[in-house]
Chains A and B, each alone.
Chain A
């Protein structure tokens, strides 16, 4: 036990004396969560619009007022002719132009006739599609309020309710993803780098010649990162609750247990990477390419898995991060318990055992 604490103490000294690892450990999580929370967002706010009103009647005036009153848009300018539309977009400030056809108000009284055109700047497709959706919903609510439309006898009204994230806040989506990336980064990449550093320096050999057992060496290397990963997970959850108001609807205890499981998965991956890499550089590249890329691209963190081509969907099943993200979303946003997540948990646990077994085997072979 005393040997172990000495080992862990030394490991912390390595970490705290290295600016780079300090930055990855403590700078990255905060920077990422802030970045995803504040900057990268699907929500729109005060998007500049231009209006080309060829009708200029009471109806269009009311609609324009309604749009101007919403917090999502601000009306930047009024245009007089179609020829002004292109130049306005070229200037770049205006993201969408609203075009009311002549006699809009009159035509509206006959159902299905009045046309309003939303022209958007699709150089930013996210903003463009969000803008047109928002405008459509403002128009819809205007119609419902005024009931000026002659309603047909039968009408199917689709009422969309966004469950679990009613305001479609993107930070809700990103928190589970960021948490996954950070835990991977700290647990897998940092451990693989720190183990290969010992190999590269030649100190691993000295450790293996000492009475310490190989398993003790690995545990000693890994322990500080377990601790730091848990700290990071706590920081991320606290930040998302108190800074971004993301709810934790399910059990915090379950979230903690699942996080620890995923930390162990990542550590096993980190050890595995260290057994196949001879240098810190290689370990870093393998971690980034082999772990980070799949986490970012294939885990459902940024791109929804259901809209991927089938081969990629199949590959995503073997990315451990995918299962962890499902679990975290389930607990934080849906508030479901273990009864709904046991399958994902089992898969993750199975993968973890597999990686531990594989790295133990590789580690032995290396010593021969």
Chain B
């Protein structure tokens, strides 16, 4: 069983004082899957993700990521995952190349490997002209694509993307999803949160979170059928109205 699921979550809960941000959620993510983790702002997506990547201790419940327990093996989890946070988080005062070198370095990539990777990555993203520019000077869309590539630098088994397309124009969003597909094709498992319901259509399976609870979980097609809705947006509206 361990080998089929990239992530298993059971009754995972996080409370801040008396407020329950994540309320006993359970689900599984299969290897190589693109799993959409949907929900409105404040639903608890980021909090749930932070527990899975080992930077927030769960209040109760169980979860394994890449076969490792979130309570006891967070160091092992960290070696096997990539993470792109909701907030753009590369160093604005370093150049594109310096960012790549730095993050490659902290993941322990060899110098040769870093060189290969950054060459390939800069080519893929068409960043050749700006390789020596400070990241702060790039448009947001480019920054986001760069941040994703940096999260993938060490070829992790599972990549967690927290609202990767937030505030990005539609064309860049399309390109971004192409990158996600490419990664999935190469065997990476992708765990993606978003509050854009149209993006749910691109996922293999989606869960919809409302006020800390998972209210629906299936393929986009089944969800639309089940809720007799034409689009995922309608599914969401029906769920939100209760």
A7-B106, A205-B89, A206-B83 given; A211·B98 CB < 8 A:
no
Using CB atoms, name the residue of chain A closest to B114.
Answer: A6
Most buried by B among A18, A202, A368: A202
Taking CB as reference atom, which chain B residue is nearest A13?
B94
Q: Are A202 and B87 in contact (CB under 8 A)?
A: yes
Min C-beta distance of B70 to chain A, whole Å: 13
A209–B88 touching, CB < 8 Å? no
Q: Sort chain A's interface into a size bin.
A: 20 to 34
Interface residues of B (CB under 8 A from A): 53-57, 75, 78-79, 81, 83, 85-94, 98, 101-103, 105-108
> CA of A201 to CA of B90 in the docked complex: distance in angstroms?
8
Given contacts A14-B93, A17-B93, contact A6 B75 (CB under 8 A): no
Which residues of A come within 8 Å of B, CB atoms?
2-3, 6-7, 9-10, 13-14, 17-18, 201-203, 205-213, 367-368
Min CB–CB distance B162 → chain A (angstroms)? 10
Contact of A3 with B105 at beta-carbon distance under 8 Å, contacts A13-B98, A208-B55 already known: yes
Q: Is B91's CB under 8 angstroms from A14's CB?
A: yes
Additional A-B contacts beyond A210-B106, A212-B106 (16; CB < 8 A)? A2-B105, A3-B108, A6-B101, A6-B105, A10-B94, A201-B91, A202-B85, A203-B90, A205-B83, A207-B106, A209-B81, A210-B78, A211-B79, A211-B107, A367-B55, A368-B56
Contact B94 A209 (CB under 8 A): no
11 contacts between A and B (CB under 8 A): A6-B106, A9-B102, A10-B102, A13-B93, A14-B94, A202-B87, A203-B90, A206-B85, A210-B103, A210-B106, A210-B107
B78 near A203: Cβ-Cβ < 8 Å: no
- Taking the closest CB of chain A, its distance from the CB of B172, in whole angstroms, is 20
Q: How far is the CB of A364 from chain B (nearest CB, A)?
A: 11
Q: How far is the CA of A206 from the CA of B88 in the complex (A)?
A: 10
| B106 CB contact (under 8 Å) in A13, A211, A368 | A211
List the B side residues contacting A202 at CB < 8 Å.
85-89
Nearest-neighbour CB distance to chain B for A101, whole angstroms, equals 72
Q: What separation, in Å, do the CA atoms of A119 and B87 have in the docked complex?
A: 68
Whether A211 and B78, one on each chain, are in contact in the complex, defined by CB atoms closer than 8 angstroms, is yes
Contacts of B90 in A (CB 8 A): 203
